[in-house]
Chains A and B, each alone.
Chain A
Amino acid sequence: MTETPMIGGNMIDFRKEFFADERPEKLNEIGKPTRRQDITGHVTGRSPFYDDHLFEGLLHMRCVRSPHHAARIRRIDTSAAERMPGVQRIVLGRDVPRNLNTLLSLLDFGIDDEPILSTDRVRYKGEPVAAVIAATDAQARDAVAAIRVEWEPLPHVLDVEAAIKPGAPAVLDIYPNNKFAYHGKYDHQKLRYGDVETAFRQADHVVEGRYQMSPIEQAPVETCGAIAAPEQNGRWVCYTSTQALFFSLGTAAKVLEMPSSRLHFIGGTVGGGFGGKVDSIHEPMAILGAMLTGRPVKFMWDREEEMQVGAPRGAELWIVKDGVMRDGRIIARQFTGYFDSGAYTRLSSYAVIKCVGHLPGPYTIPNVHANVYCVFTNRTPATAMRGFGITGVDFAIEAHMDKVAEAVGMNPIELRLLNAYRDGDMKAHRRIAKNCALIECCQVVAEKAGVKLAPHLAALASTRDGGGDRARLPAHTVTDENGRVQGYQPWSYARKNAPARDPFVGAPPPVQPPRAPAAGTPAVNAPPRADQPPPPPPPSPASPPRQGALRFSSLSGFRRR
């Protein structure tokens, strides 16, 4: 064990004695502290970021944004702005070839729900309804201020628990209960493993808690943006801060109804991302601006937009209930979770499934139950951030473990060791655990911090005594059909060899599902009641066929078209 003192008293050591037999190879380059390829450019200020690509005649784009959490747009008057100095073009929703998208449509997941520039209604404060392209950023800002929008404020809802109450304002018509529909079947993602209710009755203690994860800004030093310009041969070049080059390219091709061969994206050196640069908002807008003006256009958020319009890590609310035996063994764990998706889906629907696959945390618990909801509210849409889908629930789980330790009078580290998962254990998502190392991490920290562990816990290892009884699936798992929705096409995150279903063309929109029954009511297949509003009209037969990039799922061969 080698120790390297660092500035400020920081230390780092590599505990090579752990799992050494799993690393027999001799390697040349791997494991060396090689200096970064790009570091000289970074520290001398010479690495080119997207905003370093300057073009002659560069135009600047800025957006007109909603001051309301929810409102109908009666009229947008651009006449004064059009005559202002430097203004080249005002862009409205009708200028966007396909003015409706959902990010995960590239993965065949979800229904298009978000306009690029809203034309009739806004669903969060800061939602864009028009864009100005002007010779300078200041001229664009002045013209934005001169655009008059007649708003008709609508009722709004900002809180997840209020949003799922009957009678709450519907944020999106396609999800009238403000809950995303999973598999076209339920208004939440279920995890069912064993029988928590019976286990709660057998437990010596039941410990309950409620936890709130706050919304967080990714806060990259470089704000999100893109510069687009005409290239040769009918192509468009786009310099971008994206974290996902082909994801943004595919989104631009879809929104602009343009073959991806006409798009040339350049990025790769980005000033911090942390998840906030996957939403692909700037690339299609900048390219559209270049198409409409024939000139290079930059669309870039300022810091205020980055913080208030840019999608944050969404809030999460968690309710956790554990059944625990006197000796500290946790025999049941139940979760109810609400992800605040804000006004549109973006990526929150994905985060919920990722989260459910992570429950109940790194512990072997024989009975686990979770209902996790993706809830729509009139907030800035949420998106990815470092630890997406996991950070919030890990906060809940580990704060809860502290309460469980107190309830049974155990040292908090010993409680973790006692319940930690090991190689060969069955996990709640019904796969065998392997390559575990939680136990060793806990032991190393206890040793460093001078926390004395009971000998049998200090002797545990991830590689020993897992499996066996711990590998068995529960003899009986209680399932239910609570939260059933109707009228949606059956699809999950993605379906192998699923019948063709195109969310863009020809897919019938969901009919209004009946109100979900309250939790605990038995299975439903209730027909829509007479007092339900009629289903929304079918899509316009004039919908143009989809153009642009193939979805990745198609490229991957998961889905035959």
Chain B
Amino acid sequence: MTVHRGRGFACINYPIGMNLGGDPSQALVHSNPDGKFTVALSAIDLGQGMKSVTRQIAAETLGVPIEDVYVDTADSDTGPHDMGSFASRGTHRMGNAVIMAAQEARAVMLEAAAEELEVDAADLMTDGRGNIHVKGAPSRSITTMAAAQAAQFRQGRTIAGRGIFLVPLSEVDPETGEMTPVTTFAHAAMLVSVEVDDETGEVTVTDMQSAYEVGRALNPRLVEQQLRGGAWMGMSHAAWETTEPHYPSRDHGPVDFGTYLMPGPGDLAPHHISILERPAADGPFGGKGPGEMCANPVLPAVVNAVYDAVGVRIDSLPVTPEKVLRGLQANGGARPRHRL
């Protein structure tokens, strides 16, 4: 028995947002009398961090500290319409809607502050720490709380904003497939190392080196959690999972996590991630959506690495010991390539 090492490479791009557009998201932002802001959405936080990324976007746009913003989602009586959390659309679409809503609310806040300071609103700026002051004269300032109180109790203004983002729906040509699928793409490249046991057919992913281009990383920790989890899922898709182990037969389908196999903590390969940030022209602060694409390069990189290790092409997922052994048998043994 010999364990063969191999390396495989793959790279991909990924469309951000619903194909062809036509998928609006809306947001409402308002301040309470203390200058604390609520963002009302119908977006869904699946664990990806929807509430947190929209909170940062709102705080950045309003010019207030993150602690002064709370995101409320998803109650159909209070949150305006949103298409949903899928198609890598959450950050891109909802982020833009939140920016628009927050800009409107910010403008009212600055007008209220301008009236109190007896200056032109265009001359004001926020410091991101809860103060509004005259540009170039930080001492002429008012807190966002005082501005909000003045707006609501003295001036009779609502500090509130409405936002929507919509990429208009486009058509598809039946004859040529001409279309405008999306406005921006994320990118990734991945090199995985595997070990293949030529006696058992077992494949072990031992290392992953990746580069992901995600637009601006709005929250680096949220980006990292997506990329690590997603790459793990890609590795699992490549070498472990299927609901139909004998596709197209439906026999022996798994019914629980005892029979539906996924890698556990001991099976995880170290993953070395590099993040590149090329802002998307119409993304919120240039952000794209790293959530879906991070799994995609791992699947082909794994089968390419198996070929590099033993010369067996696995063209049908998942890679199983049986497929590897049958391939080895057909080739008369391992034929390492070592091209990478």
Contacts and interface: CB of A to CB of B under 8 A. Distances in A.
B247 A315 contact: yes
Contact of B248 (A158, A211, A397): A158
Contacts of A401: 10, 300
A494 interface: yes
Contact of A268 (B45, B181, B286): B45
A30 B56 contact: yes
Interface residues on A, range: 35 or more
Contacts of A217: 241, 243, 254, 260
B213 A354 contact: no
Interface in A164-222: 182-183, 185-186, 189-193, 209-217, 219
A391 B257 CA distance: 23
A135 to B, nearest CB: 26
Contacts of A444: 189, 211, 274, 276
B42 A399 contact: no
B276 A390 contact: no
Interface residues on B, range: 35 or more
Contact of B87 (A9, A388, A416): A388
Contacts of B11: 362, 398, 416, 420, 438, 441-442, 445
A475 to B, nearest CB: 14
Interface stretch (B104-112, B154-162, B277-285): B277-285
B191 A386 contact: no
A449 B278 contact: no
B179 A386 contact: no
B30 interface: no
Nearest to A352: B19
A319 B330 CA distance: 22
Contact of A451 (B56, B260, B340): B340
A233 interface: no
Nearest to A431: B180
Interface in A18-74: 18-19, 22-23, 25, 27-38, 69
Given A28-B59, A32-B219, A215-B243, A18 B276 contact: yes
Contact of A267 (B20, B66, B74, B190): B74
B195 interface: no
B262 interface: yes
A418 interface: no
Contact of A445 (B46, B190, B247): B190
B178 A429 contact: yes
A367 interface: no
Contacts of A315: 244, 247-248
B46 A272 contact: yes
Contacts of B128: 28-29
B177 interface: yes
Given A30-B60, A31-B220, A394-B297, A190 B177 contact: yes
Nearest to B75: A266
A278 interface: yes
B9 interface: yes
Interface in B43-99: 43-47, 49, 51-52, 55-57, 59-60, 63, 66, 70-71, 73-77, 79, 81-87
A556 B169 contact: yes
Interface in A389-427: 389-391, 394-395, 397-399, 401-403, 405-406, 411-413, 416, 420-421
B263 to A, nearest CB: 12
Interface stretch (A145-153, A240-248, A464-472): A240-248
Interface string A111-130: 00000000000000100000
A451 B191 CA distance: 10
Contacts of B9: 402, 412-413, 416, 445
Given A37-B70, A189-B172, A268-B45, A436 B187 contact: yes
B19 A389 contact: yes
B118 interface: no
Given A217-B243, A243-B84, A437 B213 contact: yes
Nearest to A378: B250
Contacts of A33: 219-221
Given A270-B44, A386-B292, A219 B262 contact: yes
Which of B187, B210, B313, B316 is the most central at the interface, judged by chain A CB atoms within 10 Å of its CB?
B187
A215 B60 contact: no
A399 B319 CA distance: 13
A483 B49 CA distance: 44
Given A243-B85, A271-B47, A386-B230, A437 B276 contact: yes
Contacts of B281: 434-435
Interface stretch (B135-143, B144-152, B301-309): B301-309
A558 B313 CA distance: 48
B243 A216 contact: yes
B327 to A, nearest CB: 14
B171 interface: yes
10 contacts: A32-B56, A214-B247, A243-B85, A357-B20, A362-B13, A379-B248, A395-B299, A440-B213, A444-B211, A556-B166
Given A361-B12, A387-B296, A402-B303, 14 more contacts: A13-B275, A18-B278, A19-B278, A158-B248, A159-B248, A182-B174, A185-B174, A213-B317, A242-B44, A312-B244, A315-B244, A379-B250, A403-B313, A555-B81
Interface of A: 8-16, 18-19, 22-23, 25, 27-38, 69, 107, 125, 158-160, 162, 182-183, 185-186, 189-193, 209-217, 219, 242-247, 249, 263-275, 277-278, 303-304, 307-308, 312, 315, 350, 353-354, 356-358, 361-362, 370, 377, 379, 384, 386-391, 394-395, 397-399, 401-403, 405-406, 411-413, 416, 420-421, 428-431, 434-438, 440-442, 444-446, 448-449, 451, 462, 477, 479, 492-496, 552-553, 555-556, 558
